[in-house]
Structure 1
């Protein structure tokens, strides 16, 4: 019975590995056009750090950015309750992580009316913004 269980486990693991590998090909950092995908990670520090109302307002504004056609994926988050270590900076209030097909997609985003409206209507909420843009290398 143990051999059967081990075989079943090994077969399942092989299928899972193949599935993950094929799924990874859909999310690689290189797009079909041969351009490198761009990750745009933005961190926001609210002026009123303890204001749930201000945080909810900022999150509301970030959600509008999904409508921009060059945005391929958008993750909006707040600091996680993970282990505090010297390398972890949880001092920010909210973040957005957006993926674009390439640098041109991010350029479209920067001047898009929805993005410009977001900055105009919500920038009064934050005291600091830090942006990390990274181009895929694999």
Structure 2
């Protein structure tokens, strides 16, 4: 049995954590032909509330965002508000809330867009926001 160094321990721990999270470390684990053709899509949406100072409106929006995790093509979701990080010219913290959703591929995001839960979210909560910006990116 080979001696486990700190480096091999950390590499193994990172690989196990990534695998448990549903992610693949390409340098550690070869991808199958099917997964090479699929490119994970990240869907990041930023919301600006009409009533920016309303905690009630923010809580309602977050309540609605949480319903989206029930859509079967959603692999992972992060819902957040601006962090109290250093103010820098490149940081835009003017939004009220955001969601970051990961899909297996573009087809998964397409399913999400027409899903009844997503449509109901837009119908029930769109009156709360004045602006929405979406950034979609795909693995390279």
Q: Deviations over 1:23-53 (max 9, x none)?
A: 4465149885320000000000000000000
Say whether 1:129 aligns with 2:138: no
Structure 1 position 19, deviation (Å):
1.9
Q: Deviations over 1:62-103 (max 9, x none)?
A: 000010000000000000000011100000000000000000
For structure 1, the 5+ residue unaligned runs are 1-9
Judging by fraction of residues, say which structure has more helix.
1
Structure 1 position 14, deviation (Å):
3.0
Aligned to 1:56: 59
Say whether 1:40 aligns with 2:43: yes
Say whether 1:115 aligns with 2:121: no
The runs of 4+ residues in structure 1 deviating greater than 6 Å are none
Q: Distance in 2 between matches of 1:29 and 1:108?
A: 26
Q: Distance in 2 between matches of 1:13 and 1:46?
A: 46
Q: Distance in 2 between matches of 1:13 and 1:44?
A: 41
Q: TM-score scaled by structure 1?
A: 0.85
Seen in structure 2, the aligned counterparts of structure 1 residues 131 and 104 have a Cα distance that, compared at 3 Å, is same
Aligned to 1:18: 12
Q: TM-score scaled by structure 2?
A: 0.84
Which of 13, 24, 27 pairs up with 2:23? 27
Computed over aligned residues only, the root mean square deviation of the Cα atoms, in angstroms, reads 2.0
Q: How many residues align?
A: 128
Structure 1 position 13, deviation (Å):
4.0
